Amino acid sequence: MAMKVRTRFAPSPTGFLHIGGARTALYNWLYARHHGGSFVLRVEDTDAERSTAESMEVILDGLRWLGLEWDEGPGVGGDFGPYNQSERVSIYDAYLEKLEAGGHVYEDEGAVRFRVPDKTFTVQDQICGEVSTNLKEQGSTRYDADAKKEVPANPDIVIKRPNGGYIFHFVNVVDDIEMGITHVIRGEDHLSNTPKHLALYEALGVAPPVFAHIPLNLNPNGTKMSKRDQGALIHEYQNDGFIADAVNNYMALLGWSGKDDQEIFTLEQLKERFELDGVNKSNSKFDYVKCCWVNGEHLKSLSPEELSSHATPFLKAAGIPVEDPRVAAALELARERAQLLSEIPGVIATIFATEVSYDAESVEKVVSREGMKEILTALTEGMNSVENWKEADIKSGIADAATGIGAKMGALMFPCRVASMGSTSGADLVPVLELLGKEETVKRLETFTAKYL
Ligand code: GLU
């Protein structure tokens, strides 16, 4: 029987959940789900000075918002806990004893060093291919503050500090062994650490897991992304008007493809399709514009109920009365124009406004044209005579008004839009007029005429 897949996401709680980290979590989650395995969340908080509870909360909240639920870990428990490294010291002590018994470690100025063997370790990486290193030959360097340069250093790896704290490489390997992790999927920044990890596996007499290092995600100009870059922090996506599945979809595309032209995926589809052989070997470049596009595509495919529940907080914040029976229809118009939930109020607010707020530039475009008073008068009369206030009849009403003054229908649409909606932008005119109702439409046309013409 094949071994059950167990993946893990192992964040260090020293900051926010960054898009690169979230992508790593997603790939681990997808891989585990695709193979019917388990996804473990392990908190790598051995660095007591830099780890904070606030950071952990931000990371957990981010994963929850994305819907990447973990099968074992904080708040969930599991058979391989505790899942915070700070609570696993006795396990690390026991593993250190194993290394001591095998003669693999020695003391050096209060620290414990792991003796790296003089041999080549080869990482068979599922994404990056084979990477071979002889740690001893490669040597090590450290920064000498007096000489102000890197100087040769002992290649044997410190696994325990003089203050008693264990070092990342050691606890990371111990936990992957103890937690039965079968696939280590993580950022390429850890590829160069992996030969050290292989040396530790060998010394402990344990077969290493499968490694898959995901190429980095960079800024469009090829620089490293920082938390100040747009789109870098997961907790900002929600406020910015993204829906979680769109962010998952975009993160999946940042380094993976399904080997065809499909770009829009539900989480369910990603789960079905995701395999490590679809992960790109080169670095990806974060593209906020594309991320917004993906979100817009997801908005289009939400059910009316889903759209309403996602949009409601944004409508409320913009003062749009969500109990108004026209909201559902307005949302249908909005999703044709908006990519982000946060853009929706701007598209439809005018429908619910008691007073139109006129965009000066749009108004100027209308009043600077000849014959506008005649057009507005014809429009007002035309609208007044529509009996069945539905899109088709409203449209004929505008067409008839145009014919009446020997103008093209198009010449009436633009002033009608500015007069009734306040701006050249926004949702489609005629459906908006239907939602406004006849009385309100006529009132708006009259108000505009009185004010500007
Ligand atoms: N705590 C490490 C990090 O956040 C995890 C490394 C790993 O996944 O093995 O980079």
**Given CA atoms 373, 375, 381, 384 in this order, what sign does their dihedral have?**
negative
Average pLDDT score over the chain: 96
| Mean pLDDT computed over 138-142 | 86
How far does residue 192's CA lie from ligand 1's centre (Å)? 13
This prediction's pTM: 0.93
- What proportion of the chain, given as a percentage, has pLDDT over 90? 94
| Residue 2, pLDDT above cutoff 80 | no
What atom in ligand 1 is closest to the CA of residue 176?
9
Strand stretches in 201-321, DSSP E: 210-214, 217-218, 284-285
| Residue 183, pLDDT above cutoff 60 | yes
| Mean pLDDT computed over 20-39 | 98
What atom in ligand 1 is closest to the CA of residue 186?
8
Residue 3 pLDDT: 84
Dist. CA 12–CA 4, nearest whole Å: 26
CB 453 within 8 Å of CB 372: yes
Total number of domains in the chain: 3
Residue 140 pLDDT: 86
Give residue-wise pLDDT tens across range 96-123: 999 999 999 999 999 999 999 999 999 9
How far does residue 12's CA lie from ligand 1's centre (Å)? 7
How far does residue 298's CA lie from ligand 1's centre (Å)? 31
Q: How confident is the model at residue 141 (pLDDT cuts 50, 70, 90)?
A: confident
What atom in ligand 1 is closest to the CA of residue 21?
4
* 134 assigned to some structural domain: no
Residue 375: domain span:
353-453
312 and 231 within one domain: no
| Residue whose CB lies within 8 A of the most ligand 1 atoms, among 6, 8, 9, 12, for a mutation test | 12
Question: What b-and-e string marks burial along 280-306, b requiring 16 or more CB atoms within 10 Å of the CB?
Answer: eeeebebbeeebbbbbbebbeebeeee
Going by C-alpha positions, the residue among 420, 432, 424 that lies closest to residue 365 is 424
Of 275, 297, 319, which marks where a domain is finished? 297
- What proportion of the chain, given as a percentage, has pLDDT over 70? 100
- For the ranges 136-140, 174-178, 187-191, the lowest mean pLDDT is seen at 136-140
CB 412 within 8 Å of CB 375: yes
Residue 1 pLDDT: 55
* 335 assigned to some structural domain: yes
Q: How confident is the model at residue 324 (pLDDT cuts 50, 70, 90)?
A: very high
Residue 38 pLDDT: 98
How far does residue 24's CA lie from ligand 1's centre (Å)? 10
371 and 443 within one domain: yes
* 117 upstream amide cis, omega within 30 of 0: no
| Residue 180, pLDDT above cutoff 90 | yes
* 389 assigned to some structural domain: yes
Domain at 7, CATH number: 3.40.50.620
60 and 35 within one domain: yes
Of 349, 370, 388, which marks where a domain is finished? 349
361 and 444 within one domain: yes
Task: Sort strands 284-285 and 183-187 into parallel, antiparallel or unpaired.
Answer: unpaired
| Mean pLDDT computed over 87-94 | 98
| Mean pLDDT computed over 205-209 | 98
CB 173 within 8 Å of CB 154: no
435 and 386 within one domain: yes
Instruction: Please tell me whether residue 327 adopts helix, strand or coil conformation.
Output: helix
Give residue-wise pLDDT tens across range 233-282: 999 999 999 999 999 999 999 999 998 999 999 999 999 999 999 999 99
The set of catalytic residues is 227
Give residue-wise pLDDT tens across range 365-420: 999 999 999 999 999 999 999 999 999 999 999 999 999 999 999 999 999 999 99
* 109 assigned to some structural domain: no
* 157 assigned to some structural domain: no
Domain at 339, CATH number: 1.10.8
Q: Ligand 1 pocket by C-beta < 6 Å: which residues?
A: 10-12, 44, 172, 184, 186, 190
